């Protein structure tokens, strides 16, 4: 599917974004292994939600959708009937995680400790993403996991075992890998210690703790003891990674004012706001509050004169998903922006280093790929052109925002990729952009 669009003179409005994808998936999985019944509202939309729900239902979890949920003040609500820590049922078919790396990694952590055999796979993109970073530590805990071709890529076959606690130093910070190991640790014998080289998003720690799990954090170390969870109602805050596209649009458009409501501002996810503020963004928070152990606020962003920045080291895990759209922000900043220590980008839904550089270069940006990031020389005007999503939702949305800023018409092939996380993206774009000329072509 192709979308064509052109620049917009004005960008303004008040919008909301889908519920946070990371929190939504954890809310479903942790309530599935908890004791009791929970309501989960304001969840993420798109294919990733469907992927984890399909997997959990195949494992015997009853998850019922309702049109209204008074507990979470959400129009859409899911009632999750927890089966307890060891209550999963052997699936009658191969589990399919779609395009969701989060779903696959979290589910594999659960399957490793479940007393049955199972298999899990994904779509064409996901089966190209290596799973060695979870297979190695899980195997050290006693897990029996094999890949079809012996190369650590899905499909994976798992024979559930009684796992043992582990002390594991992660070579690279990853919230997905950490969460996978934490879920396995809940089902293990003995204490587990997971040591990160730098902080990554801590939604799993917060949620497990709120549900009564024996979880503690000491600096970069997460300590998990086997323990039962109690079901908990959760209203999911807006996804800051989805909001990032509108934050950047508000900064780089010369005539803009955007308010984004109910956004999760977890300290481990504030990298996008910290970076934009360091780039001199006209951005601030209001109505700060806390919901279900997660901080929330409204974000206001206006036209800004951005300056260059270097992004590296401990900052990278905090903004790994936002780096493609930050590359676009750098195109409109004064000076040279450097992103390094971000080789993790190569193992996302696409090789996001190459996909970002290729897409923005096709519109005239001065951007060069490196082994672990990219270098952007700001100030060069963008012109319309032809971009490809590479089947990656974040690349598709980045190119759409670039198209709003480019002179002339921009065409994005593979634009349907946005449905993975943000099916209403195009509708929100129309709300914000005055007289937007947007066309969909099958």
DSSP summary character for residue 377: E
DSSP summary character for residue 349: S
* CATH classification of the domain holding 105: 3.65.10.10
CB within 8 Å of 300: residues ≥ 6 apart: 257, 258, 259, 283, 284, 285, 286
Please tell me the distance from the alpha carbon of residue 64 to that of residue 40, in angstroms, as a whole number: 10
Q: What is the mean pLDDT of the chain?
A: 94
Q: Is the pLDDT of residue 245 over 90?
A: yes
Q: What percent of the chain has pLDDT over 70?
A: 98
Q: What is the pLDDT of residues 64-76, one digit of tens each?
A: 998 776 665 666 7
The catalytic residues are: 321
Do 160 and 85 reside in the same domain of the chain? yes
Helix (H, G, I), strand (E, B) or coil at 59: coil
Do 356 and 264 reside in the same domain of the chain? yes
Do 402 and 429 reside in the same domain of the chain? yes
Question: Pairing mode, if any, of strands 282-291 and 310-311?
Answer: unpaired
Note the pLDDT of residue 164.
Answer: 98
Q: How confident is the model at residue 383 (pLDDT cuts 50, 70, 90)?
A: very high
The parent domain of residue 124 ranges over: 21-166+175-187
pTM of the model: 0.84
Do 13 and 64 reside in the same domain of the chain? no
Note the pLDDT of residue 73.
Answer: 60
State mean pLDDT over 336-343: 96
251 found inside a domain: yes
Among the residue ranges 42-51, 166-175, 195-204, 374-383, the one predicted with the least confidence is: 42-51
State mean pLDDT over 287-314: 94
CB within 8 Å of 427: residues ≥ 6 apart: none
Q: Is the pLDDT of residue 280 over 80?
A: yes
Taking the C-alpha atoms of 387, 393, 395 and 397 in order, what is their torsion angle to the nearest 10 degrees? Answer: 80
Note the pLDDT of residue 199.
Answer: 86
Among candidate residues 125, 155, 187, the one where a domain is terminated: 187
141 found inside a domain: yes
CA angle 363, 368, 373 (to 5 degrees): 115
CB within 8 Å of 70: residues ≥ 6 apart: none
Count of beta carbons in the 10 Å neighbourhood of residue 290: 11
Do 357 and 432 reside in the same domain of the chain? yes
Q: Is the pLDDT of residue 45 over 80?
A: no
Contact in structure between 251 and 22 (CB atoms under 8 Å): no
213 found inside a domain: no
Domain count, the chain: 2
Do 65 and 119 reside in the same domain of the chain? yes
193 found inside a domain: no
Q: Is the pLDDT of residue 188 over 80?
A: yes
Do 242 and 160 reside in the same domain of the chain? no
223 found inside a domain: no
Q: Is the pLDDT of residue 421 over 80?
A: yes
273 vs 347, residue with greater confidence: 273
- Starting at the earlier edge strand, list the strands of the sheet with 282-291: 11-15, 256-264, 294-302, 282-291
Q: What percent of the chain has pLDDT over 90?
A: 82
Q: How confident is the model at residue 33 (pLDDT cuts 50, 70, 90)?
A: very high
Q: Is the pLDDT of residue 435 over 80?
A: no
224 found inside a domain: no
Q: What is the pLDDT of residues 348-374, one digit of tens each?
A: 889 999 999 999 999 999 999 999 999
Do 90 and 130 reside in the same domain of the chain? yes
Contact in structure between 74 and 50 (CB atoms under 8 Å): no
Do 342 and 247 reside in the same domain of the chain? yes
228 found inside a domain: no
Do 306 and 258 reside in the same domain of the chain? yes
Beta strands in 275-329 (DSSP E): 282-291, 294-302, 310-311
Do 429 and 311 reside in the same domain of the chain? yes
203 found inside a domain: no
Q: What is the pLDDT of residues 167-179, one digit of tens each?
A: 999 998 899 999 9
Contact in structure between 47 and 97 (CB atoms under 8 Å): no
Q: What is the pLDDT of residues 134-166, one digit of tens each?
A: 999 999 999 999 998 778 999 999 999 999 999
State mean pLDDT over 46-59: 92
- Starting at the earlier edge strand, list the strands of the sheet with 386-388: 386-388, 409-413, 2-6, 438-441
Do 431 and 296 reside in the same domain of the chain? yes
Contact in structure between 142 and 158 (CB atoms under 8 Å): no
Q: Residue 71: is it exposed, middle or buried by C-beta count within 10 angstroms (0-12/13-18/19+)?
A: middle
Cα–chain-centroid distance for residue 184? 21
Note the pLDDT of residue 149.
Answer: 78
State mean pLDDT over 227-256: 96
Note the pLDDT of residue 70.
Answer: 63
Contact in structure between 232 and 38 (CB atoms under 8 Å): yes
Q: How confident is the model at residue 242 (pLDDT cuts 50, 70, 90)?
A: very high
State mean pLDDT over 195-215: 94
Q: What is the pLDDT of residues 397-420, one digit of tens each?
A: 999 999 999 999 999 999 999 988
Tabulate helix, strand, coil % of the chain (nearest 5): 35, 30, 35
């Amino acid at each position: 599917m192709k979308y064509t669009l052109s620049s917009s003179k004005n960008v303004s409005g008040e919008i909301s974004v889908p519920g946070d994808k990371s929190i939504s998936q954890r809310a479903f999985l942790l309530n599935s292994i908890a004791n009791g019944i929970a309501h989960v509202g304001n969840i993420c939309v798109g294919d990733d939600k469907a992927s984890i729900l399909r997997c959990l239902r195949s494992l015997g979890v009853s998850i019922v959708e309702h049109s209204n949920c008074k507990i979470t003040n959400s129009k859409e609500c899911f009632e999750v009937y927890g089966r307890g820590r060891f209550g999963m049922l052997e699936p009658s078919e191969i589990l399919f995680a779609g395009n969701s790396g989060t779903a696959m990694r979290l589910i594999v952590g659960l399957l490793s400790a479940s007393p049955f055999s199972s298999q899990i796979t994904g779509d064409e993109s996901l089966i190209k993403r290596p799973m060695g970073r979870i297979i190695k530590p899980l195997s050290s805990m006693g897990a029996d996991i094999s890949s079809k071709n012996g190369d650590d890529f899905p499909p994976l076959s798992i024979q559930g075992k009684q796992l043992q606690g582990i002390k594991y130093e992660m070579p690279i910070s990853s919230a997905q890998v950490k969460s996978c190991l934490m879920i396995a640790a809940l089902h293990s014998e003995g204490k587990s210690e997971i040591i990160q080289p730098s902080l990554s998003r801590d939604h799993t720690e917060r949620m497990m703790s709120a549900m009564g799990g024996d979880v503690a954090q000491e600096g970069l170390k997460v300590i998990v003891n086997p323990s039962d969870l109690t079901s908990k109602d959760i209203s999911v805050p807006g996804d800051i990674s989805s909001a990032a596209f509108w934050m950047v649009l508000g900064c780089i458009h010369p005539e803009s004012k955007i308010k984004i409501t109910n956004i999760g501002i977890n300290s481990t996810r504030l990298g996008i706001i910290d970076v934009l503020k360091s780039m001199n963004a006209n951005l601030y928070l209001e109505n700060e509050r806390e919901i279900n152990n997660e901080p929330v606020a409204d974000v206001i962003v206006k036209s800004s004169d951005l300056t260059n920045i270097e992004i590296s080291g401990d900052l990278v895990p905090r903004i790994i998903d936002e780096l493609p759209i930050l590359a676009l922000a750098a195109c409109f900043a004064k000076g040279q922006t450097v992103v390094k220590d971000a080789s993790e980008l190569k193992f996302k839904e696409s090789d996001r280093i190459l996909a970002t550089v290729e897409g923005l270069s096709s519109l005239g940006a001065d951007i060069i790929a490196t082994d672990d990031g990219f270098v952007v020389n700001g100030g060069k005007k963008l012109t319309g052109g032809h971009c490809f999503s590479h089947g990656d939702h974040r690349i598709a949305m980045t190119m759409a925002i670039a198209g709003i800023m480019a002179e002339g018409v921009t065409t994005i092939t593979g634009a349907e990729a946005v449905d993975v996380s943000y099916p209403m993206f195009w509708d929100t774009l129309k709300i914000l952009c005055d007289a937007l000329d947007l066309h969909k072509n099958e």
